[in-house]
Structure 1
Amino acid sequence: MSSSNPDLLDPLGFGIGIGNPFAQIPGQGLFADPLLDFGLDPDLYLPNQGAPPVSFIFVINELHIDFDGPEARNMGKPTDSWHNVLPPRNREQYSSETPGEVLRFFNGRITRASSERALYNWVRRDLSSEGHILCQSAAPAFFTTMYKQASVFSCNPHLPIIAAEDDVLVRPESRFHALQFLHTRPNAVSQISYRFDQPRAVPVPPLVTRPGPPLKYVAGAFPSWMPSLVPHTYSNPYSNEGASGGLAGEMAILLGLMAFHSSRSTLRGKSLNDVFLGKPGEPGGLWRDYQWFASEHPPGYPRSADDPPRGFLVYICYDPENTAGSTEKHLASLEWQGPLVLG
């Protein structure tokens, strides 16, 4: 299990520790108004009045597959029982990784993590080695502490989303799960979840799991984020359901779903930075103030079963510049106590 406590390890042999030399940044306000506008209590996101704002840093890296490379072509394409092509089970069939920019979530807003105070970058010795977010500042450089990670793939229109709570470049044999949701009552929030028999890097709060195992359809009707984040195939089939109350749960998977609004590198469209930060002149990215500002089908899904799966590694770390408001408790509350996406 990950921890917010400093851990002076050096897993890559760079002479760099995992830890946190920063003091908390004072005087940071809340973006509570959008929550109040929707009749939601900001204390769901900040459990105690006057508590520090909640934040984390993250990076999203696109994982590139090549089934036809010299070392990979004789391995065959992995498939399921219905002949859907799956992500590789052999490391040699991953050709490369395109690292994203390290970003910061700060109470509903996304910004670049790097500033004059500190620089953040993704580092990995090679494709088979563990990666880390490196922080360089006036203090000695260090690796930030991971909260969660997930590999999120879209395989084809018939198998739109699968996810593994791991880095498949390091452990390509990791177990994938179909997209599933816990249902909260009575507010009909759909909480993205792995199966209950899946060991978790960070345990799900017991009250969250009490209603029962996750389902393969969302809670509530007519969610505002369908099909732009979750495909129509996950619609609630029951006509007596009330309106959807939002989308929450496993944050790494949710960020991966958002990443599919970036276009493939060979096509024109939005980059990952455009998705999360917005283009010049825009008020921000597609996800801001707990609202999702897109309604169209993601352009980044594979178009057919003839296309290879497309996937991202999502890597979330505690924010070393906000130690009081970026703990396991704070981030778990953010995931499970209220919608991350309204509507």
Structure 2
Amino acid sequence: MNSQHSKERWVCDECTFESAQDDEFIFDNQQRWESHMRSSHQCSDDLLTFLGSMSKRTLSELAECPLCKRPPRRMRPDQDDHIAEHLHSWALRALPWNLSPNDEVSCDSPNAGSGSEIARSDMVEDEDNSKAATISETIEREITHWKHENHIPVGQRSNRLHTLTNDLRDILLKWIARTRLDTQNEKVLHHLMSINQTRAQLYCASQADMEGNEFTAQQLDDIEANLCETIELGIEYMNEAFGEEDRNRAPDPGPSHDSVKAFGEEDRNRGPDPGPSHRSVRAFGEEDRNQGPDPGPSHHSVKPATKAKSSSSSRSRIGLSFIFVVNRLAFYDPDSPLDWCRDKWMNVLPPKDLFGYSTEYPSRVMRYYDGAVTPADDYIWYRPNWNQPGYILQDAGDGVMIHATDVSSRAVFACNPHLPIVVIPEDPTTNVLSNQKKIMHALHFAHTHNAEGISFATMGMDHVPPSWDMLVRHLNGRGSRLIPSLVPPTYAPSSPPARQSRGLAGDLGVLLGMMAFSRENVDEVFLGRHALWRSRVWLGGDRSPKLYPKDVVTPPVGFLVVICLDPENPESTPERLHDFQWGGSTIVKEPSSSSSSRR
């Protein structure tokens, strides 16, 4: 494929990431690509030279999969593993999951499992050309496979098989009605694949018997009995899972000061709930004026933070503050069977649902106060269980855990030199991202005449003030020393404006996430004498961030940034934070030439 059926082409990654057209932004020669980049993106000759080698791809001619109905499409011969996915699917189905060791005939029959009918029935069609074959998606496809393929006519089913078929249909509807644990879904997937494989054997054996081939009645009965036993095993497992859920269904008392543990630690010694406390649980700043018997919440309660009102005389002296965490996300585990999520041009993207993420590495809780970032040691990051929402908590005493008011959650990813920054505007470990194009956003900047020289980082028009009407992929100003240590080189303006760049503002979560790529340890970015962001000035130097992937083979790197109001500052309000981001002040200032080169 590489030597005989491929050709060098040039791709505009910026357009293809947003476009639904397969071939509109692929060019057969470099001259047409350069013309497009000049007219559509105002790229200078120097920038074209820089981007030319990165945009050149070796793509094959339009190819159609001989094994399924995937439409013809261009592909990279060195990376398109669509055929390999078929082979992997067959290999999984060939494994003897949950088969009885006594069922020799059903597995060893000379013709069972052979023929094009079984081969085609075993394939999982990739309807949306997505490379993200997650467990949940595969379960849905196996269910579709069960409902629509290899039907055994009612007249050829025994009463046992007919009853089990209806029971399996009902329990599958119940199973997919809610999100399940990854380990549970894996086991159900194995059961479904084994069921579909065995039914395909029975279907082909029945067709062969009708055509006068060598299957005996005993062999057909054995295959059907094996199918019934396989269905029963799947139903039994799902019923056991439902029963375990019913047994464990109880009110969650919430974390307490002595039960909140680091993420991943099990509570092995949990005793009975002591029940309601004789004292009411007070929110932060609220006085207990009427202490006495109170049937209110127990001492395990977690309460949102409230703020004491400040006088007008002290308000002017209180600076802006917020607390935040920057947690590194772990995904694309080499030992996981899940494939990497890619766009149509084979750019590796972050996982688009929670099953793709394996864990997180929480940072310390930090506090920003008027340009300085310090540890907020009285607070912890707490996530009750993986795939559940996390909180920033403070132990307020008397058994009360205060959770800070959430402002925003952003997942920021560095993908590759062609697609430098991608943002998901929520916590992707807790939400199924069903629409990849809608949820994943390339980094954009908004410009406004009221703040000349400031570039406002954002993800889309839904995340900027309503009066703003333009998003671009370049900075608002020339000579920015934030390139390349914070802003990727592709965001340099092609035609430098007369005004000098003054720095960045906009979405705080995006900005903090972009900073995190500069060091392996998040503490080195934000804390200490040598922090890279001090007094709002970025001191990242003149090199690209350390964690940026250097090629298209390296998987992306991502951080989850959660920002909360500061419970200890009455002036930490959503309105002040919004004004801080979009009011025209610079959040990340340009460094001086001496400080930039020194790093």
Structure 1 residues 225, 11: closer, same or farther in 2, change over 3 A? Answer: farther
In structure 1, the residue matched to 2:361 is 98
Residue in structure 2 matched with residue 66 of structure 1 by the alignment: 332
Matched, 1:340 2:581: no
Name the aligned partner's letter for residue 404 of structure 2: T
2:411 & 2:371 partners in 1: Cα distance? 23
Instruction: Give the equivalent residue in structure 2 for 1:292.
Output: 538
- Please name the residue that 1:158 is paired with: 418
Alpha-carbon distance in structure 2 between the residues aligned to 1:275 and 1:319: 21
Distance (Å, rounded) in 1 between the aligned partners of 2:343 and 2:253: 35
- The match for 1:272 is 522
Q: Which residue matches 1:247?
A: 504
Larger mean Cα displacement after TM superposition, 11-20 or 124-133: 11-20
Amino acid at match of 1:143: H
**Separation in 2 of the partners of 1:153 and 1:272?**
15
**Distance across 2 between alignment mates of 1:97 and 1:11:** 23
Match among 2, 19, 28 for residue 304 of structure 2: 19
Secondary structure of the 2:318 match is coil
Highest relative contact order (Cα 8 Å, sep 6+), 1 or 2?
A: 1
Structure 1 residue 92: deviation in Å? 2.8
Q: CA deviation at 1:24?
A: 7.2
| The structure with more helix, counted as a fraction of residues | 2
Provide the rounded CA distance (Å) in 1 between the counterparts of 2:308 and 2:573: 14
Unmatched segments (≥5 aa) in structure 2: 1-250, 256-299, 591-599
- 1:180 alignment counterpart: 444
Q: Percent identity?
A: 35
Corresponding letter in the other structure for 2:526 = F
Instruction: Return the offset for 1:334.
Output: 0.8
Contact in 2 for aligned 1:195/1:213 (Cα 8 Å): no
Query: Which of the numbers 572, 578, 582 marks the counterpart of 1:326?
Result: 572
Q: How far off its partner does 1:315 sit?
A: 0.1
Give the TM-score normalised by structure 1: 0.78
**For the Cα contact (< 8 Å) 1:91–1:169, is it kept in 2?**
yes
Q: Aligned residues, how many?
A: 287
Give 1:21 shift: 5.3
Alignment partner, residue 312 of structure 1? 559
Question: Residues 13, 298 of structure 1: CA spacing in aligned structure 2 closer, same or farther, 3 A cutoff?
Answer: same
Distance 1:242 1:216 in 2: 17
Kindly indicate whether the alpha-carbon contact (under 8 Å) linking 1:108 and 1:288 is maintained by their aligned counterparts in 2. yes
Tell me if 1:193 matches 2:452: no
- The residue that corresponds to 1:123 in the other structure is 382
Q: Greater strand share, 1 or 2?
A: 1
Give the letter for the 1:130 counterpart. P
1:232 to 2:489 alignment = yes
1:261, distance to aligned residue in structure 2 (A): 0.9
Instruction: Tell me how far 1:98 sits from its aligned partner.
Output: 0.3
One-letter identity of the residue aligned with 2:492: S
1:23-42 correspondence runs (5 A): 23=308
Separation of aligned partners in 1, 2:526 and 2:509: 14
CA deviations over 1:297-339 (Å, ceiling 9, x no partner) = 110112221111110000000000002x210111011111211
Please, what TM-score do these two structures have when normalized by structure 2?
A: 0.45
Output the aligned Cα RMSD: 2.4
* Partner SS state of residue 155, structure 1: strand
The runs of at least 4 consecutive aligned structure 1 residues that moved more than 6 Å come to: none
Of structures 1 and 2, the larger Rg is shown by: 2
